[in-house]
Structure 1
Amino acid sequence: MTLLKTLLSTIALGALTATAGLAQEVTNDRFKEVLERGVLRVGVQGAFKPWAYRSPEGAVQGIEVDLAQTVADRMGVTLETVVISSANRMEFLQQGKVDLLIGAMSDRPDRRKIVGIIEPAYWTSGPTLMAKTGAISSWDDIKGKPVCGKQGVFYNKIAEVEFGANVVAFGGNTEAKEALRSGKCLAWVYDDTSIAADIASGEWEGYEMPVDTVFSNPWGVAVPLEEKDGIWGAFMSGMAYNWHKDGTLIALEQKWGVKASPWIAALHDQLQYDNSYLDN
């Protein structure tokens, strides 16, 4: 078996340990480029607590930063986080400014035509609202009312088209939520996971998540479209499977104080197997 075939088999199992020496054997441009550069550039959000946000000292931290670090560690390279936004993240990947996206991006058919979204998904969420306690009781209550949103997020269209809201879109989460605090909007439309984390943080006393999500959508890691079916895509698919199988995602929920996801727990259980026969 050639080294390349061995490499492909190892990637499929999600157990690759890459080193600079492999750069001479790997023909996939992005994989080889990262190994030779010695730096993995990963696009992450900059104000999406607790997935990716800045610490008081200015460093980017969070669940997705930790996931990115596992990739860099597995490859034996240094991690460089690049702050992206919902509006420019796919452009950054297309233009080669990042090698990989782990940026809270929902897996949608239109996006699969632009970037290579990896399976399995690593998280899931859906659109909901945050508002002052008692301000609204159903999605119908936002009809004709100003609702804060974030630029580039497709939840805005749902609030506008399905529920008749007047969405006021801001460049970042911080600006949008501060507009909610100041009374410029009746509610803030965003991911239920993020809103639940905000409320649990204790920084949003007097606010609630009063409505159910409209639907639940998976989040996918993305590589350049042309590399999805190559070594780079296969390697990242193996990484994503391992995040579920070895409990990495469950551990990160606990580390960052995120409410446990039944979806993550179920997939973790599905990927386990009975190895008791090994003792016989």
Structure 2
Amino acid sequence: MLKSLFTGVTVLALSATGAIADALDDIAARGKIVVGVKADYAPWGMRDADGNLIGMEHDMIDDFVTRVSDAVGKPIELEKVVVVASNRMQFLEQGKVDMFIATMSNKPERREVVGIVQPDYYSSGVAVLAHKDSGIDGWESLEGKKICGIQGAWYNKDHGLKNGAEIVAFKGVSEVEKALLDGRCDGWIYDDSAFIPRKVNEPEKWADYSIATPTVDDAPWGAAVPLDEVDGRLGKLLSEAIIDWHKSGTLVELEAKLGIPPTAWLAKMSEACKAGEKICNDAYDDE
């Protein structure tokens, strides 16, 4: 079970109020926090048989709302807004959500647009899932192949087009999945973290498909608040939550709970945070 832990320093910091209202003040005033979430990225964000939003990131968000309620001293309701790769940053910029935890790779150019807090909470790499008869065997074999991808994903260009693939982009994962299974694409370029659970949890459905390229560009995932809030109370509260989830082993436990094969990155982060290493600080180190 997720636990909400606070240090004395944080409690003192969150009790201070300034003349200008910040994001946490706004959330407290309306009694609700609006969070961008994924519904197309099982098992991090998905819908169950009844249409309810569930998954690893949703468990994280539920715990974070408890922390927000404790910080402002009143119950805070949670409103979830479903986002996709192509609109999650825009929704945050436009004020449609207060924050998001939505399977986003932490890239320097993205940190110029939204406030990605430190530390990162997960990581994945890029690979191609392909049918056994596709002829795909390594990145160079993508030349001339139709490869399904998600609109707005940086690796469509860096690893798809760069290797001569014809990228067929779709808005959501369900559309890509259907196109691949229908044979409209030779392969699917995406995070390896999305392929592994499919092979584990739906072996019959994906029996003829395998990861056909080496995994490259391991990229940590970051949670985000508005750019001007990354060093504010909301950003620091989110950083503290992620640090605690690593230290307590909560994220490792959630990974196991959802049938995700253990990842070396998450195990290392858990140990690094327990040891108080720089990578688990709540601010970026430019050194």
Indicate whether 1:9 and 2:9 are aligned: yes
**TM-score calculated relative to the size of structure 1:** 0.87
| Secondary structure at the counterpart of residue 129 of structure 2 | strand
Query: Is the contact between residue 142 and residue 163 of structure 2 (CA under 8 Å) also seen in structure 1?
Result: yes
Q: What residue in structure 2 maps to residue 277 of structure 1? A: none
Deviations 1:99-134 (CA, angstroms, capped at 9, x unpaired): 111011111111111000011000111110111125
Structure 1 pair 266–164 and aligned structure 2 pair: CA distance change class (3 A):
same
Query: Is the contact between residue 39 and residue 53 of structure 2 (CA under 8 Å) also seen in structure 1?
Result: yes
Q: What residue in structure 2 maps to residue 217 of structure 1? A: 219
- Return the alpha-carbon distance in structure 2 between the equivalents of residues 11 and 92 of structure 1: 30
Shift of 1:58: 1.1
Query: Is the contact between residue 47 and residue 173 of structure 1 (CA under 8 Å) also seen in structure 2?
Result: yes
Indicate whether 1:185 and 2:185 are aligned: yes
Shift of 1:26: 8.8
- The residue correspondences of 1:30-49 to structure 2 (distance < 5 A) are 30-49=23-42
| Secondary structure at the counterpart of residue 185 of structure 1 | coil
Query: Is the contact between residue 99 and residue 223 of structure 1 (CA under 8 Å) also seen in structure 2?
Result: yes
Which stretches of structure 1, 4 residues or longer, exceed 6 Å deviation after superposition?
23-26
Structure 1 pair 229–23 and aligned structure 2 pair: CA distance change class (3 A):
closer
| Secondary structure at the counterpart of residue 35 of structure 1 | helix
Shift of 1:59: 1.2
Question: What percent identity do the matched residue pairs reach?
Answer: 37
Structure 1 pair 11–113 and aligned structure 2 pair: CA distance change class (3 A):
farther
- Return the alpha-carbon distance in structure 2 between the equivalents of residues 7 and 265 of structure 1: 24
Q: What residue in structure 2 maps to residue 228 of structure 1? A: 230
Structure 1 pair 253–186 and aligned structure 2 pair: CA distance change class (3 A):
same
Q: What residue in structure 1 maps to residue 115 of structure 2? A: 116
Q: What residue in structure 1 maps to residue 128 of structure 2? A: 129
Q: What residue in structure 2 maps to residue 101 of structure 1? A: 100
Q: Report the residue type matching 1:129 in the other structure.
A: V
Give the root-mean-square deviation of aligned CA atoms: 2.3
Deviations 1:141-176 (CA, angstroms, capped at 9, x unpaired): 111110000111112112333211000001111111
Query: Is the contact between residue 98 and residue 226 of structure 2 (CA under 8 Å) also seen in structure 1?
Result: yes
Deviations 1:180-221 (CA, angstroms, capped at 9, x unpaired): 111111100000001111111223121111222121001000
| Secondary structure at the counterpart of residue 169 of structure 1 | strand
| Secondary structure at the counterpart of residue 241 of structure 1 | helix
- Return the alpha-carbon distance in structure 2 between the equivalents of residues 120 and 131 of structure 1: 33
Structure 1 pair 95–7 and aligned structure 2 pair: CA distance change class (3 A):
farther
Deviations 1:48-74 (CA, angstroms, capped at 9, x unpaired): 111111112111111111111111011
- Return the alpha-carbon distance in structure 1 between the equivalents of residues 273 and 184 of structure 2: 46
- Return the alpha-carbon distance in structure 2 between the equivalents of residues 192 and 26 of structure 1: 46
Deviations 1:1-54 (CA, angstroms, capped at 9, x unpaired): xxxxx9992169xxx9x8xxx697795521111122222211011211111111
Q: What residue in structure 2 maps to residue 207 of structure 1? A: 209
Candidates 267, 270, 282, aligned match of 1:268:
270
Structure 1 pair 82–8 and aligned structure 2 pair: CA distance change class (3 A):
farther
Query: Is the contact between residue 142 and residue 160 of structure 2 (CA under 8 Å) also seen in structure 1?
Result: no
Query: Is the contact between residue 127 and residue 216 of structure 2 (CA under 8 Å) also seen in structure 1?
Result: yes
Q: Report the residue type matching 1:119 in the other structure.
A: Q
- Return the alpha-carbon distance in structure 2 between the equivalents of residues 271 and 24 of structure 1: 29
Indicate whether 1:51 and 2:21 are aligned: no
Indicate whether 1:138 and 2:138 are aligned: yes
- Return the alpha-carbon distance in structure 2 between the equivalents of residues 144 and 172 of structure 1: 23
Deviations 1:240-270 (CA, angstroms, capped at 9, x unpaired): 1111011110111011111111111111112
Q: What residue in structure 1 maps to residue 65 of structure 2? A: 72
| Runs of 5+ unmatched residues, structure 2 | 1-5, 70-75, 277-287
